[in-house]
Chains A and B, each alone.
Chain A
Amino acid sequence: MSARSSALPARSRPGLSPARRARNLLMGALIGLSTVIVVAPLILIFGYLLREGLGAMNLDFFTRTPAPEGETGGGLLNAIVGSLQMLAMASVLGVGVGVAGGIFLAEYPRHPLMPTVRMLSDVLAGIPAIVMGLVAYGLIVLQFGFSGLAGAVALGFLMIPIVVRTTEEVLKLVPLTVREAGLSLGLPQWLVILRIVLPAAAGGIVTGVMLALARVAGEAAPLLFTAFGNPLVSLDPTKPMSALPLEIFRGATSAYDENQRLAKAGALLLILIIFATSLLARWASRRR
């Protein structure tokens, strides 16, 4: 930074041809303009949802289920409760397997299976969410029918590679000397990992999990034919369950004004939650 700003500004230099000066200014302006174009959609989307959704975010929105099609009133309690349940269940799978996978990649680098696990984890990270929905459909829904559990499994599959990658990265940041100090005290390797390395990396792992949650909390595609949706509040994970992104999708593609109104309010709630989670995670990782 300091070295760059100390470089002599190009326009004050004598002998710079007008063409070069003009090109320099033009490209600078284009780069600034492009940046405005890049961030504009975020501001436009957020502004639109605030304008359209905030009014619909009343007490009913948080305490009632959607009114029958064509009637007014109602809220998205079913979706809020469903999303929370599915995210909690998905976390069990995503964090359990993801953290273990990260430990495996970071702490057992000479294990013969390490390259396979690393490669497949990267591959899974690139699989489209809707395809994971199809997989969970085949695995669970075909036998047991639509259920919140099937949706949670699809979301958990999506979380795994994200958690694996961040866990591996933060574990590798823990200095080798810390591990050696533990081993030299006579601790077996597993206790060194569990009692010394993991606590040292805990903050980073939590950040990774939060980012993974923020990512899957907005996914509707894998839930379309797994959790399916439910107009009522359901606490039974073996029954169809609703979720915020599902209700947003159904509402936005619905012909009824009332459903569209709920969808906009739901979208506002969803991006507020997701933004808060991502900013919190980022703030926590900056502070360390």
Chain B
Amino acid sequence: MSEPLRPRPAPRAALSGRSDRTFQLLILALASVIVGVFVLSVYQLGRESWPALREFGLGFYTERTWNPVTGQFGAAQMVIGTLVTSLAALVLSVPLAVASALFVAEYAPKWLANPVGYLIELLAAVPSVVYGLWALFVVAPILGRWQQGFFADPANLQVYTRCQDLWNSGQTTLQCFFVPSAFDGRGLALAILILTVMILPYTASVARDVIRLVPQDQREAMYALGATKWEVISRAILPYARAGILGGVILALGRALGETLAVAMVIGDSQDIIKSLWGGASTMASVIANQFGDAQETLHRSSVVALGLGLFFLSVLVNFLARVVIARLTPRGIQ
């Protein structure tokens, strides 16, 4: 650099070609760590869950019994728990999330839209354990008091005792599904509630970005026809933004499926058949968190890892689903 006037020696070109190749190799080597992490994950999870999968086959994921004492392991209850909590949380959160996105993008003046947008993003940054702590210390006692108050009424208590008898004899009815088995507030319903709050910001921020991308012409054309604001939103904006919002919903689903500690702290960790909306249950992730540390026996430990393997493939599947949906449904012109 200090002698720019001297004619460039011929080998320099070859040298720079070599240094380019060296740099590219270095970058490639570091980037292939990403491939390596994926391959190692599949290998590790596969190797460690092999004893359980060899013993129980793929029936592991459809068998109902999970009993560390007798060495019987089937993950059906956790698979159901995972799907039920995630889908219920999704159903509860999507309308709220889309509404808040509409508020930020369409209704709020700028001085209000920005802070609300910030708050929603901070909501996404709150760690799982903190949600769990709050749910455990604040929401669960409120729910518990409410349950106790409700069943202090003799007529309601009668229903409760009838359901207890039914449960003890291994039966249940639809009515009993809405009767809590204990009055501490913890259980499936609280897990769904806290999951709803946790995945709201993911859908909301994706929906907001997509709604902002809807071309202004789209809105003005509707207004020109004499439409009200709500009609513009429901007929011009939401149909246009549908694909992107669905992409955000699937992203949120992926989060919900793998959400661990907040759920593990409040769901009541029961591997029995789900008897009640308010009673204990478990998800694949919550069982990993609650049992992996204590699992001494090979088969138990391996079964817990097999849950992790299932969760791994479930999240890969959801990721592909999101791609397909976004690719299929995106209106031409916006990507």
Binding site for B on A (CB under 8 A): 1, 3-4, 7-8, 10, 13, 16, 20-21, 23-24, 27-28, 30-32, 34-35, 37-39, 41-45, 48-49, 52, 96-97, 100-101, 103-105, 107-108, 111, 113, 116-117, 120-132, 134-135, 137-139, 157, 160-161, 164, 186, 188-190, 193-194, 214-215, 217-221, 224-225, 245, 248-249, 252-253, 260, 263-264, 267, 270-271, 274-275, 278-279, 282
Instruction: Provide the bound-state CA to CA distance between A25 and B151, in Å.
Output: 39
Q: List 19 A-B contacts (CB under 8 A).
A: A20-B228, A27-B234, A31-B100, A41-B123, A100-B31, A113-B35, A123-B319, A126-B258, A126-B318, A127-B316, A128-B311, A131-B45, A131-B311, A134-B48, A160-B34, A161-B34, A190-B22, A248-B133, A270-B130
**Complex A-B, nearest 4 residue pairs according to Cβ-Cβ distance, in ascending order:** A128-B258, A218-B127, A100-B30, A190-B23
Residue of A nearest to B224 (CB): A7
Q: Does B179 contact A (CB under 8 A)?
A: no
SS class of chain B's interface: helix, strand, loop or mixed?
A: helix
Q: Which residues in chain B, 1-54, are within 8 Å of chain A measured between CB atoms?
A: 8, 16-17, 19-20, 22-24, 26-28, 30-35, 37-38, 40-41, 44-45, 47-48
Name A124's contact: one of B24, B34, B259 (CB within 8 Å): B34
Task: Select which of A37, A96, A193 is within 8 A of B30 by beta carbon.
Answer: A96
Which B residues lie within 8 Å of A104 (CB)?
Answer: 27-28, 30-31
Name A130's contact: one of B99, B103, B106, B289 (CB within 8 Å): B289
Contact, CB under 8 Å: A279 / B265: no
Q: Point out the residues of chain B lying under 8 angstroms from A48, CB to CB.
A: 134, 137-138
- Stretch from B56-64, B73-81, B159-167, B215-223 forming part of the interface with A: B215-223
Any A CB within 8 A of the CB of B230: yes
For B33, list chain A residues within 8 Å (CB).
97, 101, 160
Residues of B within 8 A of A264 (CB): 133, 137
- Taking CB atoms and an 8 Å cut-off, the chain B residues in 178-227 that contact chain A are 197, 200-201, 204, 216, 219-220, 223, 226-227
